[in-house]
């Protein structure tokens, strides 16, 4: 029996090596693709975070700016409250001088000295509106011409009114600077001293026929 021809039998070892190499190549390509996609995803997250950072910084800066503005506004409002307590006393005293110069018994008025002293005692006790209330009541019980003369019928009365109006307008300007919504200003004008201010201003702007403001001394 003759031996088989070894050269005639085909070898399968190279085929296995080729298949293994191809498999490893595919695995390597797949791993590379996966790593590449992961890196792209990480870079995308980094870019997104970097793009969001300026926006968040701007939002934070805006929040801080609003907080600072709110604190400044509250500080101005607190200052106004303290200031108004001092400033509103001046119109109250000026209203008393106007009332005395027009209604006191010593100048031909009808209010006796004892009642006038009692009203000044009220002012001294902290009731700054004692005379402004009296002026409001008097203004709306007098005829138009007499009401005008109450404010501007003599040089002394005109001076008192100009002082009152000037002090109140300064208070209004301060209120407007610390209250953008105008709530404090409206409250001032609707209160008794504000109504006296509006009455004085209206009388001077629209005097009755034949009436003139007597210049202040």
Residue 149 binned pLDDT confidence (cut-offs 50, 70, 90) = very high
Assess whether pLDDT exceeds 90 at residue 87.
no
Residue 105 binned pLDDT confidence (cut-offs 50, 70, 90) = confident
**Which of 52-61, 136-145, 165-174, 185-194 has the lowest average pLDDT?**
52-61
Alpha helices in the chain (DSSP H): 13-87, 89-103, 113-124, 130-139, 144-152, 155-178, 183-190, 192-205
Name the residue with higher pLDDT: 86 or 197. Answer: 197
Assess whether pLDDT exceeds 90 at residue 6.
no
- The residue ranges of every structural domain in the chain are 83-205
CA 203 to chain centre: 32
- Helices 130-139 and 144-152: angle between axes, nearest 10 degrees: 150
Partners of residue 104 on adjacent β-strands: 111
Q: Identify which of 14-18, 52-56, 124-128 has the greatest average pLDDT.
A: 124-128
* Distance from C-alpha of 23 to C-alpha of 90, rounded to nearest angstrom: 99
Residue 55 binned pLDDT confidence (cut-offs 50, 70, 90) = low
pTM metric for this prediction: 0.63
**pLDDT number for residue 175:** 84
CB atoms closer than 10 angstroms to residue 180: 8
């Amino acid at each position: 029996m003759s031996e088989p021809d070894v050269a005639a039998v085909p070898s399968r070892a190279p085929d296995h090596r080729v298949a293994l190499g191809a498999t490893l190549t595919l695995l390597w390509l797949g791993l590379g693709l996966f790593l590449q996609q992961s890196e792209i995803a990480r870079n995308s997250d980094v870019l997104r975070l970097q793009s969001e950072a300026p926006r968040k910084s701007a939002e934070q800066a805006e929040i801080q700016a609003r907080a600072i503005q709110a604190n400044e506004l509250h500080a101005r409002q607190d200052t106004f409250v303290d200031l108004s307590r001092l400033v509103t006393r001046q119109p109250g005293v000026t209203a008393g001088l106007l009332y005395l110069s027009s209604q006191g018994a010593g100048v031909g008025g009808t209010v006796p000295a004892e009642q006038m002293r009692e009203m000044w005692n009220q002012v001294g006790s902290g009731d700054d509106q004692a005379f402004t209330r009296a002026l409001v009541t008097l203004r709306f019980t007098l005829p138009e011409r007499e009401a005008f003369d109450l404010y501007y019928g003599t040089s002394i009365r005109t001076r008192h009114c100009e002082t009152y109006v000037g002090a109140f307008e300064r208070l209004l300007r301060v209120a407007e600077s610390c209250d953008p919504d105008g709530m404090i200003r409206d409250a001032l004008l609707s209160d008794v001293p504000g109504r006296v201010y509006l009455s004085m201003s209206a009388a001077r702007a629209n005097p009755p026929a034949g009436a003139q403001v007597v210049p202040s001394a």
